[in-house]
Amino acid sequence: MSARNPGGQRPITRRTVLQGAAALGGFVLCLRESGGIVLASQPPLYGAAAFPGGVVENPLVFVAIHPDDTVTVTVHRPEMGQGIRTSLALVVADELEADWPRVQVTQAPADESRYGSEDTDGSRSMRHFFEPMRRVGAAARMMLESAAAAHWRVPVSEVAAERQQVVHRGTGRRLSYGQLADQAMRQSVPEPSQVRLKDPAQFRYIGKSNTRLIDGADIVAGRAAYGIDTRLDGMLYAVVARPAVLGGKLVRYDAQAALAVPGVLRVVQIPSHSLPAQYYPLGGIAVLARNTWAAIKGREALKLQWDDGPNRSYDSRQFEKVLEQAVRNPAKVIRNQGDAQTILEKSGKRIEAEYYLPSLAHASMEPPAATARISNGHCEVWAPVQAPQATRDLVTELLGMKESDVTVHVTLLGGGFGRKSMPDFAGEAALLSKAMQGAPVRVMWTREDDIQCDYYQAAALEHLEAALGPDGMPLAWLHRSAAATENATFTAGAEGEDETEYGQGMSNIPFRIPNIRLEIPSVPAYARIGWFRSVYNIAHGFAVQSFVDEVAHAAGRDPRAYQLELIGPPRRIDPRSLADTWNYGESPTLHPLDTGRLRGVIERATSEAGWGRRMPRGHGLGLAATYSFMSYAAAVIEVRVGANGELTIPRVDLAFDCGPQVNPDRVRAQLEGACIMGLTLAMHGEITFKAGRVQQSNFNDYAVMRMSEAPREIRLHLQPAGFDVPLGGVGEPGLPPIAPALCNAIFAATGRRIRRLPIGSTLSRQTS
């Protein structure tokens, strides 16, 4: 779930530098800013074009038509539950005039030079590949039409594709796609400028929700194959004892008892890479066995002595003090208009609050797992990865092989949420296969491994101040956001959020406040920091939207009316004018921040939720609205807080504007999921560290919301939009408004303000 500057933060391989220099406007800009290197000015590239893999639109790469009249669409974006294998395939099928029940999907292996960017994060798959995949399908359709016209010796203008057949209008003759398959694939591929797209009014599947989930039948029958399910002849099962502290190294080990466990075959040491961690395996001792249970028992029997290294004293409670110091002192100014400091100092009505979000682990239901095999100088990897090419690059480097000798097969992901953007676990499998002379090895992480050796969402402390004018509206706004940066995972010593991180709902607030000062303190990282669904928007959204609610109450105003007044009238704001030069890597002209759309979701959510209605005792409604990943989301959450502090959530109303919805049913599914993930982190999510070690280990102490706690009703309100509107993201932007809407609702119900997540037992503790 990275929202990173394209090309800017991935470990810079030769490949990305070469491609970056040739193609990446954003990357060129980075070099110029950091290194003073002046290159010939180029217009910046946006969207998929700014990624190393770019866009490939060749129908011969993505579409195969078979003589049995079936169609295979190759999907190059990994499937982790967002439905992309269904949604990209239906886009191709629609323009192709294919019959959905006859469409099959095959997953592309890692190869960005062939398929274009496969790096699946940042809510980008449909946003970046809707138009290209339309053109792929349309070009293939035109090739079928050309083949039929040639067969009948009639002008191509007299034929038309229709539901898996090409029809000659004059005579009514028909040829099926299967009959045309061989000839069609030999037609020349139309130039992109010649490709004729459908009129959206003619769409059969796009925007319709009438396409079955491509993997649904396999999933419900237990046939769907995830990374953990790979089985190869002679495969060994491995679990790894990794350093518990980032940067720790093995000093000595005794494997005698482990090797005595029946079924255990061997132990193998994996070297620990020096920091920064990047995507490299953490190192440690692997136990290889004939089955998983023997490997687990063998690992329990290892005697290990570690040097915990430079992070041995990291304590997250103490680190909170570091964050407090950081946000209570002046720091690097990243946006400044007017003179907020002076006004705050002199103000008679000054509000101040701090909001804390702890570290979070992803806890995808499928823990990391990968399989590798090396034979005849060729390494094959099967892995559930969001970043296939980064996986291939890592394995290539670790094995010292040529890229062409490494194949990465992308399995289904049993959840990703950003964790599986980091392919360290696939690197482990490759190293272990090499150590076993190429024998197939599957590495599986236990839940404890997953919780304790994750790439974590960074803990954050947000400090906000506002000075209110006589009308109750803010005259000045100060926000300091302190959190470790993901860059620290890749660059030693990187501190504090960068523009791709504070650009997530902190710098780009569209409020009409005359004096605004935004600051970013330097904060170090002591654990691996990684992308987590919606990333820094979580902390920023929680803080900003809670604070707006607090300020509205301080002004004695209704939070909805107050927020709308703060946003002001509908207008399109150039993100650069909000100190946001990043804009999620998208064009500022194509994707301005549209306050009309932000107002729209607030108005929709509040009206659907019956904002202002009389609430029973102990009930409250809370509102929050955020803009992220080019989409607008507003949540109204109803809570009931019982006499003993027990919290239930009868209903959520979530209004969402992502522009047009290609697969509305999957958009709804993503929003339902984002809502529940947002509630989980608000109520339960907390990773703490002591002596450098994560203190949680499994679902008993790192809880995930269960069905009985989930809202009984999640009502989704999708804003309609035509296909002339650029697409926004879907996977992540539903999440940021959830925690603040929940906490604002708790305030409305009880008068108690939550400024520290997770809520946990806070409510019951304080009432008892």
Partner 1 sequence: MRYELSVNGESVHVEAAADTPLLWVLRDELGLTGTKFGCGMGLCGACTVHVAGHPVRTCITPVNAVLGKRITTVEGIGHDRVGHAVQTAWLALGVPQCGYCQAGQIMSAAALLRHSTHPTDADIDSAMAGNICRCGTYPRIRAAIHQAAQQLRGAA
Shortest CB 439 distance to partner 1, Å:
16
d(CA 748, CA 620): 5
Between residues 700 and 768, which has the closer beta carbon with respect to partner 1?
A: 700
d(CA 110, CA 387): 8
d(CA 394, CA 387): 11
CB 40 within 8 A of CB 34: no
Rounded (10°) angle between helices 738-750 and 537-554 = 30
C-alpha R_g of the chain: 27
Shortest CB 87 distance to partner 1, Å:
12
CB 238 within 8 A of CB 427: no
Instruction: Give strand ranges (E) for 585-719.
Output: 593-594, 619-628, 631-641, 647-657, 689-690, 693-694, 713-718
* Farthest-apart Cα atoms in the chain, separation: 86
Shortest CB 426 distance to partner 1, Å:
18
In the block, which residue shows the tokens 């309100």?
717
Nearest to 86 by CA among 224, 179, 228: 224
H or E element that contains 669:
helix 664-683
CB atoms within 10 A of CB 78: 29
Nearest to 282 by CA among 399, 453, 440, 32: 453
Between residues 145 and 215, which has the closer beta carbon with respect to partner 1?
A: 215
Give CA 495 to chain center in angstroms. Answer: 22
In this structure, is the dihedral angle defined by the CA atoms of residues 246, 247, 251 and 255, taken in order, positive or negative? positive
Between residues 8 and 298, which has the closer beta carbon with respect to partner 1?
A: 298
Between residues 366 and 580, which has the closer beta carbon with respect to partner 1?
A: 366
d(CA 277, CA 424): 9
Amino acid making up residue 754: I
Shortest CB 219 distance to partner 1, Å:
4
d(CA 244, CA 528): 12
Between residues 412 and 624, which has the closer beta carbon with respect to partner 1?
A: 412
Between residues 420 and 599, which has the closer beta carbon with respect to partner 1?
A: 420
d(CA 671, CA 653): 11
Between residues 92 and 294, which has the closer beta carbon with respect to partner 1?
A: 294
d(CA 550, CA 556): 10
Between residues 40 and 707, which has the closer beta carbon with respect to partner 1?
A: 707
The string of DSSP codes covering 205-243 is STTT--S--TTHHHHHTT---BGGG---TT-EEEEEE--
CB atoms within 10 A of CB 568: 14
H or E element that contains 374:
strand 369-375
Q: State phi, psi for 612 to the nearest 5 degrees.
A: 95, -10
Amino acid making up residue 234: G
Pairing of strands 474-483, 460-468: antiparallel
Residues that bind partner 1 (CB under 8 A): 79-83, 212-213, 215-217, 219-226, 228-229, 231, 237, 262-263, 291-294, 296, 363-367, 412-417, 444, 446-447, 665-666, 669-670, 672-677, 680, 698-700, 704-708, 710-714
Q: Where are the alpha helices (DSSP H) in 355-403?
A: 388-399
Between residues 78 and 283, which has the closer beta carbon with respect to partner 1?
A: 78
d(CA 331, CA 351): 20
